[in-house]
């Protein structure tokens, strides 16, 4: 039951990602999706190795989300010459 609830939340975040207006909103929804996928890994593979997989996926997804957010923040400060 819990796996289905997390799956529904991930699908809702995917739909909201498509309808988001700017990049910062999309990053928030993608980050929520990565947390959900981490939860699915941990719930589905109920072994110590599943926990390790979930931790590794969570750490790498968080690092990539932070890198994307940092890059977008830097792009907002740049001036574009036409």
Per-residue pLDDT averaged across 52-56, rounded? 85
Is residue 52 one of the residues assigned to a domain? yes
- CA dihedral over 41, 32, 26, 16, signed as positive or negative: positive
Is residue 82 one of the residues assigned to a domain? no
The pLDDT, as a whole number, for residue 11 is 93
When divided into structural domains, the chain yields a total of 1
Q: Domain range spanning residue 52?
A: 2-77
* Chain centroid to CA 49: 21
Is residue 34 one of the residues assigned to a domain? yes
Instruction: Tell me if residue 62 falls in helix, strand or coil.
Output: helix
What are the pLDDT digits (tens) for 19-39? 988 877 887 888 888 888 888
Calculated CA dihedral for residues 26, 28, 30, 35, nearest 10 degrees: -170
């Amino acid at each position: 039951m819990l796996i289905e609830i997390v799956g529904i939340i991930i699908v809702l975040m995917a739909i909201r990602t498509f309808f988001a207006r700017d990049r910062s909103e999309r990053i928030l929804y993608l980050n929520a999706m990565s947390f959900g996928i981490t939860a699915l890994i941990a719930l589905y593979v109920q072994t110590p190795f599943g926990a390790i997989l979930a931790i590794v996926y969570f750490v790498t997804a968080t690092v990539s989300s932070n890198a994307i957010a940092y890059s977008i923040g830097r792009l907002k400060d740049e001036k574009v010459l036409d």
